[in-house]
Amino acid sequence: DQARRLNLTQAVFDKDMYGNPAANLSLMSEMMRATEKGEMSLYYQPKLKVRTGRYESVEALSRWFHPDRGFISPDQFIPQAEETGHIRPFTEWVIRQSIEDQKRLLAEGKPIAVAINISGALVGDPEFARKARSMIVGASGPITLEITETAVMTNPEKAIEHLNAWRESGARISIDDYGTGQSSLAYLQMIPSDELKLDRQFVSNLNANARGRMLIKSTIDLAHNLGLEVVAEGVETETDLAALKLLGSDWIQGYHLSRPLPISELAEFLAVPEETMLRSQSS
């Protein structure tokens, strides 16, 4: 029922988008060229594993530096790529590129897990599922795929089948942006997953009041009871970092630790002992 409602919303959304097809198409025709011309790059935002005190994973985030338009945010070009169908080749490029970077870092003695954002539009796509699977199998380190709950709700049967297949090939599944929109406990237990990623907006409940804190605490406990690790995203202060550790978050990510970095800066960042990094960040 809920899935059908979401399909309807999607249909209306898509129709609206045809309101401005010219703008979308010209941007998108440049998008794939941009990957070839080197205008498109991946930045990596480190994630701290609390238990070990080490940066054991990074999230790949797309960056487009357009020669005329300047910086174009992924919040702008990813939705457009989803509407025009460019999202599939683009995501394949993201996976290929990040797996290559992971291999390079390993060769430099910096083994790291890589998390890749997968658009909802692709989670139910069998062709993409196969392609992604073969790339995951070839990776030289752990891969996490970040998906949103709504991605699963649109076509639960196909989505669950693909998530299972990706897990069988060794990828971890992370539920991204949890605590925004239609996060539902009912769906949570049916999505094959390994990790729950609390959205920055949700994490900000920390500072609301005692109830906001309790909400985060309960969600972390619930995730653990379901066998999921928890990542707190968008952590911007030392106070929040300390609070989230206390509440049991397994991973911390946010500007307080590091912004997304180009691969060269990431390599440097990972070369510095974590203790030093934490001290220099908070001083």
DSSP-assigned letter for residue 207: G
Using CB under 6 A as the binding rule, whether residue 124 contacts ligand C2E is answered as no
In this chain, which stretch among 4-12, 68-76, 155-163, 215-223 interacts with ligand C2E, using CB under 6 A? 68-76
Compute the least distance from the CB of residue 127 to Mg ion, in Å: 23
Among 24, 62, 91, 117, binds Mg ion (CB under 5 A): 117
In the numeric block, which tokens belong to residue 19?
């309101």
In this chain, which stretch among 6-14, 75-83, 192-200, 216-224 interacts with Mg ion, using CB under 5 A? 192-200
Cβ pair 17, 83 in contact under 8 A:
yes
DSSP-assigned letter for residue 154: H
Q: Counting every residue, how long is the chain?
A: 283
| Displacement of CA 18 from its chain's centroid (Å) | 28
Using CB under 5 A as the binding rule, whether residue 240 contacts Mg ion is answered as no
Helix, strand, coil percentages for the chain (3-state, nearest 5) = 55, 20, 25
- Which is closer to ligand C2E, CB of 177 or CB of 229? 177
Using CB under 6 A as the binding rule, whether residue 231 contacts ligand C2E is answered as no
Compute the least distance from the CB of residue 45 to ligand C2E, in Å: 6
DSSP-assigned letter for residue 231: E
Size of the site for Mg ion (CB under 5 A): 6
Region of residue 85 (phi > 0: left; psi between -120 and 50: alpha; otherwise: beta):
left
* Contact pattern for ligand C2E over residues 27 through 66, marking x by CB under 6 A: ------------------x---------------xx----
- Which is closer to Mg ion, CB of 24 or CB of 144? 144
Compute the least distance from the CB of residue 29 to Mg ion, in Å: 27
Compute the least distance from the CB of residue 150 to ligand C2E, in Å: 12
Residue 142: phi and psi, rounded to 5, are -65, 140
- Which is closer to ligand C2E, CB of 1 or CB of 264? 264
Helices and strands in the chain: count of H runs, count of E runs: 14, 10
In this chain, which stretch among 9-17, 139-147, 160-168, 182-190 interacts with Mg ion, using CB under 5 A? 139-147
Among 24, 102, 119, 183, binds ligand C2E (CB under 6 A): 119
Strands 172-178, 195-198: pairing kind: parallel
- Which is closer to ligand C2E, CB of 4 or CB of 69? 69
Whose CA is closest to 58, among 269, 240, 216, 247?
269
In this chain, which stretch among 20-28, 31-39, 103-111, 233-241 interacts with ligand C2E, using CB under 6 A? 233-241
| Three-state SS at 270 | helix
Got the DSSP string for 157-206?
HHHHHHHHHHHHTT-EEEEEEETSTT--HHHHTTS--SEEEE-HHHHGGG
Cβ pair 164, 185 in contact under 8 A:
no
Size of the site for ligand C2E (CB under 6 A): 22
Give me the residues that bind ligand C2E (CB under 6 A), please: 45, 61-62, 73-75, 78, 94, 117-119, 146, 176-177, 200, 233-236, 254-255, 260
